[in-house]
Amino acid sequence: MQYTRGFILRIPFLILIVHTLLFTQIVSAASEEAKLKGALLKAIKNHNTEMVKSLADGGHESIDRDDVLQEKIYEYLDAERQREIAAKEKAKADAIAKKRAEEKAKQDAIAAQKAAKEKAAADAIAKQKADAAAAAAAVSAKKAAQEKKKADALAAKKRADAKKKAQAKAAADKKRKEAAAKKAKEKKARQAKAAEKKRQQTAAAKKKAAPKTTATVKKVTPKKRPVTKPKTVAAPKAKVIPKAAVAVPAAAAITEPVAISNKKLIGSWKQISSEKVITLDINADTSFMLEQVEDDGTLTLTGTWKSEENIFMLSIKKVQRNVHSRETDIHRIYKVERLSNHRLVLRDKRNRIAYDLKR
């Protein structure tokens, strides 16, 4: 009775052991399947095709029954086949390219060798031509030097002949001038002698005829009562006025044209009066500005200038009255009456003083 009770108590313990063993086997089987799947996935990741094929064909139920894993295996193997095909094609293409490169290198080497030969031949021909040209140039230079020497000698001879000829001509001219001077001197002496002789003859004739003339006058001329003639009033002599005292009007005065100096023109000029103030700026770059300030506003003219002899011309391009301005193209011509470092006087076409500017 006691033994039966003990056996009954051991039954649950045995069941528990059996369950434990089963669970251990299940866990062990699950762990083994997980290891197989992990090894398979690792082989796929590392492209270890032999390992993938070994695990796929090993008859493992956990792998064979896993559809997702089977799809991955199929895709991997298919991709590997495509890769192998591509690798073979690439290897084939590389081999063809290598062969072509070798053929091209061979052709390039042949072409380079041919080009080198042709260049060597061309260089030899060029050297021959250069040597021939140098020889010809040396001959030409020698010939030119001989011709130059001959020409220099001929020129020296011509200069010597010309010098001799000039000296001979100068001597002949000198001799001729001396002869002409001597002849003129002799002629002058003869003329002086003849004039002196004639003067003496005339004096002698006057001296001989003088007494007869006086006697005749005394004999013929009777004494008469002097006749009184009416006195004539002499015209008053014109008073001589010194030239410095004669005042000639500015308009009527005859003056020589003023020679314009651009250096004197350039600068700022002013004309100040009770009615207005005029400022004329003449710049070296041929631009100008004329400003006229009056009680009712300011007139400003700008443009370019130029001068020739005693003429000064303004080409007005812009006219501004106070704030209003307009573009224009007006030409004003003035005659320069006076130009110095401190004064500029301009006359217009009517000969009126247009500006009397100072600085």
For the chain, report the end-to-end CA distance as a whole number of angstroms.
157
- Cβ 264 vs Cβ 340: under 8 Å: yes
CATH of the domain at 309: 2.40.128.280
pTM of the predicted model as reported, rounded to 2 decimal places: 0.31
* pLDDT surpassing 80 at residue 333: yes
**Residue-level pLDDT at 20:** 64
Q: Extract the tokens encoding 270.
A: 């002013």
pLDDT at position 237 over 70: no
Rounded-to-integer distance, Cα 198 and Cα 342, Å: 69
Q: Give percent above pLDDT 90 in the chain.
A: 39
Decide if 288 is inside a domain: yes
Neighbours of 304 (CB within 10 A): 14
In this structure, the number of other CB atoms found within 10 A of the CB of residue 292 comes to 16
| CA dist., res. 320 & res. 268, Å (int) | 19
Is residue 249 situated within a structural domain?
no
Mapping DSSP to helix (H, G, I), strand (E, B) and coil, where does residue 101 land?
helix
Residue range 16-66, pLDDT digits in tens: 676 666 665 555 656 777 887 788 888 888 888 888 888 788 777 777 878
The answer as to whether 229 is a domain residue is no
In a domain, 271, yes or no: yes
**What is the CA 10 to chain-centroid distance, rounded?**
121
Most confident of 24-38, 108-122, 173-187: 108-122
Within a domain: 50: no
pLDDT number for residue 230: 45
Question: Is 348 domain-assigned?
Answer: yes
CA gap 96, 92 in Å, rounded: 6
Q: Give which of 327, 324, 308 is closest to 316, Cα–Cα.
A: 327
3-state secondary structure of 340: coil
Residues 6+ apart with CB under 8 A from 125: none
181 against 65, higher pLDDT = 181
- Residue with the two structure tokens 């140098």: 134
> Would residue 343 count as lying in a domain?
yes
* Structural domain total, the chain: 1
Query: Which pLDDT does position 22 carry in this prediction?
Result: 66
Q: Considering the domain boundaries, does residue 328 fall inside one?
A: yes
- Determine the structural domain holding residue 349 and report its residue range: 260-358
* Per-residue pLDDT at 311: 92
Q: Let me know: does 293 contact 282? Beta carbons within 8 Å.
A: no
Task: Name residue 357's beta-bridge partners.
Answer: 344
73 three-class SS: helix
Q: What percent of the chain has pLDDT over 70?
A: 78
pLDDT of 302 > 90? The answer is yes
C-alpha to C-alpha distance for 306 and 262, rounded to whole angstroms? 9
Instruction: State the chain's mean pLDDT as an integer.
Output: 81
296 pLDDT higher than 80:
yes
Q: Return the pLDDT at 241.
A: 41
For residue 16, what pLDDT is reported?
66
